[in-house]
Amino acid sequence: MNKKNKITFSLITLLLLGGFYIYFEFYSYPRMDINKVSTEIKTSSKNLTASFIKNEKNANSIYKGKIIEVEGVVKEVTFLNNRNTVILYGDNKHSGVLCDMQSNQMMEIKKLAKGQKIMLKGVCKGFLKDAILLNCMLINQQSNE
């Protein structure tokens, strides 16, 4: 009986340790695939920047930390600092939407042209001079091609 207890105990410990290992190694990486999470809010780049300019606090409470889908027109595509970034025109000349793309989007964004209308999805982080979206991916590509 005592021996049996020991075996079950060590088995449980092993399972727990294994579980922790798997959790830390695999699940704690932030490389979330935006493709697999569903959109919480849909908007346009004009609306998004306008609401941040109008009332940043309010807009933060609506958009910050949320997965949002944004429709907008490409202003610029940059590869600065080894990042793939798409900037969308905003409500005015000075503000836009800065979208940091997932690394698997590289080929797709190279095909983008200034002035092209696109739709993308990402996590809204807040606003500086532009609204900032991370982990972005293009969606509805088929309608552009």
Choose which of 2, 4, 5, 30 interacts with other proteins (CB under 8 A).
30
Instruction: Give the pair of three-digit tokens for residue 135.
Output: 């982990």
Looking at beta carbons only, is 7 or 41 nearer to other proteins?
41
Q: Which of residues 38-97 bind other proteins (CB under 8 A)?
A: 60, 64-65, 78, 80-81, 83, 85, 87, 93
Choose which of 6, 58, 129, 144 interacts with other proteins (CB under 8 A).
129
Q: Alpha-carbon distance 133 to 118, whole Å?
A: 15
Instruction: Give the pair of three-digit tokens for residue 44.
Output: 């346009």
* Shortest CB 69 distance to other proteins, Å: 19
- On whether the CB atoms of residues 38 and 139 are closer than 8 A, the answer is no
* Shortest CB 140 distance to other proteins, Å: 24
Number of residues that bind other proteins (CB under 8 A): 24
Q: Alpha-carbon distance 139 to 103, whole Å?
A: 15
Q: Alpha-carbon distance 16 to 9, whole Å?
A: 11
- On whether the CB atoms of residues 40 and 68 are closer than 8 A, the answer is yes
Alpha helical stretches, state H, the chain? 2-22, 45-54, 56-63, 106-110
* Shortest CB 112 distance to other proteins, Å: 17
In the complex, the residues that contact other proteins under the rule CB under 8 A are 24, 28-30, 32, 60, 64-65, 78, 80-81, 83, 85, 87, 93, 98, 100, 125-126, 128-130, 132, 134
